Amino acid sequence: MGRVYGLCSAPMGDLKDRATTDEKELLASFMDTQREAMLAIADGLSDQDLRKRLVPSDTTILGMIKHLAYVERWWFQDIFEGRDCTYPWTDDDPDADFRIEQEETTAGILDVYRAECEVSRSIFESHDLFDVSVSTERPRCTLKWIVLHMIEETARHAGQADILREQIDGKTGLGP
């Protein structure tokens, strides 16, 4: 599947391209744009800045990237395909996926995120939008629902991370 990067921000003269893009390709493009925004927000920051708490909660840029890695795994691998997956959280510690542990490195977390996104892309590309999840843990849903939810989830965290990045050095993810 070809990429249609930046379709949402294409000049108005490119409206024809946006109007004729295949729905699955369009969804993949919007999903990848949000994933790239998260990585762009992290790009150029020190390990210390990525772990910096700038709000009253334990939220950090690197913590959101770690969280999104496991959310990718949860929805595409576990819920949609029914794979047996592991996660850092427990019933007693439900927010462990946001926390950066002492032994975890920035490079390691970014690699996990990229790898989980690649697995999700592969799953997405190998199924039809209206294929239904196999997991019985939750109500069944289509692949289309999952990718729309992931666009929403990733965009929400990208917006939060943009604000944190702006507090650190005035820059944002995909902005000027």
Which token pair is 78?
Answer: 């576990």
If DSSP codes are grouped into helix, strand and coil, which group holds residue 132?
A: strand
CA distance 32 to 109: 18
Question: Given this model, what pLDDT does residue 139 score?
Answer: 86
List beta partners, residue 132. 142
Query: How far from each other are the two terminal CA atoms of the chain, in whole angstroms?
Result: 29
For the chain, the farthest-separated pair of C-alpha atoms sits apart, in whole angstroms, at 53
Which token pair is 2?
Answer: 């070809």
Domains and CATH numbers, the chain: 7-169 (1.20.120.450)
Question: Given this model, what pLDDT does residue 20 score?
Answer: 65
Q: For the chain, state the CA radius of gyration.
A: 17
Residue-wise pLDDT tens for the chain (176 aa)?
A: 343 344 444 433 344 566 667 999 999 999 999 999 999 999 999 999 999 999 999 999 999 999 999 999 999 999 999 999 999 999 999 999 999 999 999 999 999 999 999 999 999 999 999 999 998 878 899 999 999 999 999 999 999 999 999 999 999 877 65
pLDDT tens, position by position, 95-108: 999 999 999 999 99
> For residue 32, which of 68, 3, 10 has the smallest C-alpha distance?
3
Question: Given this model, what pLDDT does residue 174 score?
Answer: 72
What contacts 46, CB < 8 A, 6 or more positions away?
none
CA distance 69 to 114: 8
CA distance 41 to 54: 15
Question: Given this model, what pLDDT does residue 17 score?
Answer: 63
